[in-house]
Amino acid sequence: MFRIAFYQPCIPGNTGNAIRTSAATGTELHLIEPLGFDLSDSKLRRAGLDYHDLASVTVFPNLDAAFDAWSGARVFAFTTHAEQNYADVAYQPGDVLLFGPEPTGLPAEVLQDARITAQLRIPMIAGRRSLNLSNAASIAAYEAWRQHGFASPSP
């Protein structure tokens, strides 16, 4: 299916919410260190409710290790600075939906990495800074999944 990736996430509740989204959609959640919290954080556990055992969560020590694991996959970096709309992409199983930390987003060196397939944006009303990280990831994951008829992931 698809992969949601959080680069150096800072807020445990957002990651907990993403765990729930991953469990509900069959997407994998990839976390790239350093994390701004401990995975046993009570806020992360509370936000994830009882979905932790139903989600596939992988932690990578750095971005290079994540790219190694994603070998051959398309990686879409989400940023408010992109021109291309996320809904204009024909997503393929295995695609990585990469999001940056709160509140700064992905740094320039990540956005300009040659292994990034494209930079995408989620439209917002002018003058708004950004969406909540877990909400943005949910919007993108559901669009990718919708394009594939909300098919159940293969075992």
Sequence-distant (≥ 6) Cβ neighbours of residue 72 within 8 angstroms: 94
Q: Is residue 120 part of a domain?
A: yes
Q: Kindly state whether residue 154 falls inside one of the protein's structural domains.
A: no
Whether 155 is in a domain gets the answer no
Residue 153 located in a structural domain: no
pLDDT in tens, the chain (155 residues): 899 999 999 998 899 899 999 999 999 999 999 999 887 757 666 555 567 678 899 999 999 999 999 999 999 999 999 999 999 999 999 999 999 999 899 999 999 999 999 999 999 999 888 899 999 999 999 999 999 999 987 66
The CATH number linked to 114 is 3.40.1280.10
pLDDT of 54 reads 85
* C-alpha to C-alpha distance for 44 and 35, rounded to whole angstroms: 12
CB proximity list for 140: less than 8 A, separation 6 or greater: 4, 76, 78, 86, 97, 120, 122
Distance from C-alpha of 39 to C-alpha of 9, rounded to nearest angstrom: 11
pLDDT confidence of residue 64: 98
CB 88 within 8 A of CB 61: no
Q: In this structure, are residues 101 and 36 in contact, taking their beta carbons and an 8 Å threshold?
A: yes
Q: Does any domain span residue 102?
A: yes
Residue 32 is assigned to a ligand binding site: no
pLDDT at 150: 95
Asked whether residue 36 is marked as a ligand-binding residue, the answer is no
47 Cβ neighbours under 8 A, 6+ residues apart: 12, 13, 14, 15, 16, 17, 19, 20
The total domain count for the chain is 1
Q: Assess if residue 69 is contained within a domain.
A: yes
Strands (E), 8-70: 28-32, 56-60
* ∠ Cα 61 35 86 (to 5°): 90
Q: Provide the domain limits for residue 52.
A: 3-148
42 is in an annotated binding site: no
